[in-house]
Structure 1
Amino acid sequence: MTKRVLHVVTNVGHYDDPSHATGLWLSELTHAWHVFEEHGYEQKLVSPAGGAVPLEPRALKFPNYDRTAKAWRADPAKTALLENTASPDGIDPSEYDAIYFTGGHAVMYDFPGSEGLQHITREIYERGGIVSSVCHGYCGLLDTRLSDGSHLIAGRRMTGFAWTEEVLARVDKLVPYNAEERAKQRGALYEKAVLPFVSHVVTDGNLVTGQNPVSAKATAKKVVEAVEGAAAKKRG
């Protein structure tokens, strides 16, 4: 049967200070989409509020603006996907093998408080599906609890955009909170690469997380491995 992946994207277009724009870090979506497409997966976009998705301006500049991102913006059908995303209440979690939270600083605002996304994530996770995120996407996992009331990420090895990287990116004064610290407060066994801004992916059972934008492709590949592994386990 065809595997299905649900991509989570943001509806937020700026920091607390409206003069500083943010949004989806496009390559974090396009790199993963390309990997899943190569494996024949069906893919769908969902956002906390449904509807349009703003793009992070810095992600549209060299070297962040690469071939897959340019190809997406040159394709009217693909750009239309970002203009009319589904809302969580229109999603049946049982139809998806994996959920993939994209990043961009915008997600720090609208991912954590979405009960709809938390419900979808919990349903996928508890029936053995794959929960994954890249960069700031892990903010969507910070407040997600399992049916027993525990945090999904508690006691789990994981990664995501590091505070060191926030400082080096000069946005530490703009972001609403320290996501790395918050994940640790939830009991996550947070890990990061020795050097900032290099690809780093952590897999812990059916939780797959990537540290930063350049980790998106590797994260998606690990998600495919995990999905196939879960499918083989069910067959066995």
Structure 2
Amino acid sequence: MKKILMALTSHSEMENTEGKTGVWLGEFTDPYYEFIDAGYQVTLSSPKGGRPPVDPMSELTENITGANRRFQDDEVAKAAFSHTTVLNQVNAIDFDAVFYPGGHGPIWDLAVDNNSGILILDFLDAGKPVAAVCHGPAALISASRLRPGFLTGKTISAFSNAEETLVGRSGNVPYLLQTRLEELGAEVKTALIPFLSHVERDGLLITGQNPLSAGPTAKALIALLEEPEKITPAVEA
């Protein structure tokens, strides 16, 4: 059985507003059930452990997904969500891949979390995939700080500057994620029309643009994990 680590944000405060943020619920539940339905074992973690904050906007009726409704009736999943493992207590050696859901929270905590940055580099160095969606790719910023040039030339996707403006939160964040990732050398590709699903794969790195991309990003990760291992032909003496 393949084992997936999901790394969630612990941050809930926006800037210049009383509005809250946290995990965008559908960006957790959509991938979570993709993994569960594929027969994978999922472990949840976060920088502070315990129950991560949930962005209230992601629980509004217009943003509810089928996976959200399934989660509300899933006592096992809700218990796991309420008792996430502290991020510094997990090790890449114990998992086959790691997935970072979004919500605005990661641009504050996971972007500067050394444990998360080390974890990402450990996964990739071990030949294991790293996936992230929406603001989840902010976690790559920490990996880039620990290994300068890490993002140079990589093709990724993430919540776009246009989308940040359209949701009215560009004045409540410390930086625009797309801009910051591009400053670190990444080529950020997005859908031609905001809020449409878009997924990029660059080697072992899989990234999705926005909430609608969460399920497809998880499916892309599953497809990568299910690829047959390349067998090196024997060399005749």
**TM-score using structure 2 length:** 0.93
Instruction: Describe the shift of the 1:151–1:82 C-alpha distance in structure 2 as closer, same or farther (beyond 3 A).
Output: farther
- The DSSP-based 3-state class of the residue aligned with 2:108 is helix
Say if 1:47 and 1:87, in contact at 8 Å, map to a contact too. Answer: yes
Q: Where in structure 2 are the equivalents of 1:111-150 lying within 5 Å? A: 111-145=110-144, 149-150=147-148
The gaps in structure 1 that reach 5 residues or longer are none
Partner residue, 2:5: 6
CA shift for structure 1 position 79: 1.7
- The DSSP-based 3-state class of the residue aligned with 2:132 is strand
- The DSSP-based 3-state class of the residue aligned with 1:203 is strand
Q: In the TM superposition, what whole-angstrom CA distance separates every residue of 1:23-54 from its partner, at most 9, and x where no partner exists?
A: 11011111111111121111111111212211
Q: Where in structure 2 are the equivalents of 1:23-34 lying within 5 Å? A: 23-34=22-33
CA shift for structure 1 position 67: 1.7
Aligned alpha-carbon RMSD (Å): 1.7
The separation in 2 between residues aligned to 1:112 and 1:14, in whole angstroms, is: 15
- Opposite residue 167 of structure 1, the aligned amino acid is T
Say if 1:122 and 1:145, in contact at 8 Å, map to a contact too. Answer: no
Say if 1:9 and 1:102, in contact at 8 Å, map to a contact too. Answer: yes
Q: In the TM superposition, what whole-angstrom CA distance separates every residue of 1:74-100 from its partner, at most 9, and x where no partner exists?
A: 323222222211112211211111111
The separation in 1 between residues aligned to 2:75 and 2:221, in whole angstroms, is: 27
Partner residue, 1:20: 19
* Residue number among 161, 175, 178 corresponding to 2:176 in the alignment: 178
Identity within the alignment, %: 29
The separation in 2 between residues aligned to 1:10 and 1:175, in whole angstroms, is: 15
Partner residue, 1:212: 210
Say if 2:47 and 2:86, in contact at 8 Å, map to a contact too. Answer: yes
* Residue number among 229, 233, 236 corresponding to 1:232 in the alignment: 229
Of structures 1 and 2, the larger Rg is shown by 2
Number of residue-to-residue matches in the alignment: 233
Say if 2:110 and 2:142, in contact at 8 Å, map to a contact too. Answer: no
**TM-score using structure 1 length:** 0.93
- Opposite residue 170 of structure 1, the aligned amino acid is G
- Opposite residue 104 of structure 1, the aligned amino acid is G
Instruction: Describe the shift of the 1:227–1:111 C-alpha distance in structure 2 as closer, same or farther (beyond 3 A).
Output: same
The gaps in structure 2 that reach 5 residues or longer are none
CA shift for structure 1 position 234: 6.5
The separation in 1 between residues aligned to 2:132 and 2:150, in whole angstroms, is: 13
The separation in 2 between residues aligned to 1:50 and 1:151, in whole angstroms, is: 30
The separation in 2 between residues aligned to 1:224 and 1:46, in whole angstroms, is: 19
Instruction: Describe the shift of the 1:44–1:18 C-alpha distance in structure 2 as closer, same or farther (beyond 3 A).
Output: farther
Say if 1:210 and 1:216, in contact at 8 Å, map to a contact too. Answer: yes
Say if 2:24 and 2:58, in contact at 8 Å, map to a contact too. Answer: yes
Q: In the TM superposition, what whole-angstrom CA distance separates every residue of 1:95-133 from its partner, at most 9, and x where no partner exists?
A: 111111110011211111111111111111111100110
CA shift for structure 1 position 16: 2.6
Say if 2:47 and 2:87, in contact at 8 Å, map to a contact too. Answer: yes
Say if 1:180 and 1:190, in contact at 8 Å, map to a contact too. Answer: yes
Instruction: Describe the shift of the 1:183–1:21 C-alpha distance in structure 2 as closer, same or farther (beyond 3 A).
Output: same
Q: In the TM superposition, what whole-angstrom CA distance separates every residue of 1:11-31 from its partner, at most 9, and x where no partner exists?
A: 112213461111110111111
Which deviates more from structure 2 when the two are superposed, residues 96-105 or residues 13-22? 13-22
Say if 1:122 and 1:146, in contact at 8 Å, map to a contact too. Answer: no
